């Protein structure tokens, strides 16, 4: 009986022997998460409302239960335009200040937001065509960019343009 009681203790003692592992612990340190994949609607699950239905609504509002950035073609266009996850999440953040979604002179749908209590300093606008193409993102950080903004499109390097991001 005594041997049965000591067996678990011996196993526990062996686990903490302090020996170096064979490198398997380093696997977690070398892990690289997979790239974000663009969403694809399931057959029969396409949106029944056009993107233009969001004009006049805030980015966090829903149309038929779906938010603007939750739409398949909008999120796909945003992923295609901005490769950086951190920056992309700023556009979709729920704690940002936003204005109603508007339609630009060239017909694209635009969602504008800014950092709370710092709208003059940090703001952004995402533009997309009504069919979900031509996604383009503008990001402005007055502290680091001065009187220019960075524009992102199709995953290419950002281009600086004079001025702030469009708000209407």
pLDDT in tens, 110-155: 999 999 888 888 999 999 999 999 999 999 999 999 999 999 998 7
Write down the H helix ranges in the chain.
2-15, 26-30, 72-81, 85-92, 142-145
List pLDDT tens digits, range 51-63: 999 999 999 999 9
List pLDDT tens digits, range 30-50: 888 777 665 565 665 565 689
pLDDT band at 24 (very low <50, low <70, confident <90, very high): low
Beta bridge partners of 126: 111, 137
What pLDDT is stored for residue 22 in this prediction? 54
Return the CATH number at 150. 3.40.1420
Does residue 36 belong to any structural domain of this protein? no
Give me the number of domains the chain comprises: 1
Does residue 68 belong to any structural domain of this protein? yes
Does residue 17 belong to any structural domain of this protein? no
Does residue 30 belong to any structural domain of this protein? no
Give the burial string for 140-162 (b: 16+ CB within 10 Å, else e). Answer: bbeeeeeebbbbbbeeeebeeee
What pLDDT is stored for residue 114 in this prediction? 93
Does residue 14 belong to any structural domain of this protein? no
What pLDDT is stored for residue 69 in this prediction? 93
Distance between CA 103 and CA 106 in Å, rounded? 8
Does residue 103 belong to any structural domain of this protein? yes
Structure tokens at 119: 């709208």
Answer for the pair 140, 147: CB distance below 8 angstroms, yes or no: no
Range of the structural domain that residue 121 is part of:
53-168
Does residue 150 belong to any structural domain of this protein? yes
Does residue 64 belong to any structural domain of this protein? yes
């Amino acid at each position: 009986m005594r041997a049965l009681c000591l067996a678990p203790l011996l196993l526990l003692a062996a686990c903490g022997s302090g020996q170096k592992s064979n490198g398997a612990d380093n696997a977690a340190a070398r892990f690289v998460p997979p790239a974000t994949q663009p969403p694809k609607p399931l057959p029969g699950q396409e949106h029944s409302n056009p993107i233009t239905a969001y004009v006049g609504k805030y980015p966090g509002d829903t149309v038929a239960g779906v938010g603007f950035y939750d739409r398949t073609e909008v999120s796909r266009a945003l992923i295609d335009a901005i490769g950086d996850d951190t920056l992309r999440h700023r556009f979709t953040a729920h704690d940002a200040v936003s204005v109603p979604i508007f339609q630009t002179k060239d017909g694209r749908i635009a969602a504008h937001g800014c950092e709370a209590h710092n709208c003059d300093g940090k703001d952004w606008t995402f533009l997309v065509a009504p069919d979900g193409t031509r996604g383009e993102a503008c990001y402005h950080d007055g502290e680091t960019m001065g009187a220019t903004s960075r524009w992102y499109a199709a995953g290419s390097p950002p281009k600086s343009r004079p001025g702030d991001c469009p708000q209407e």
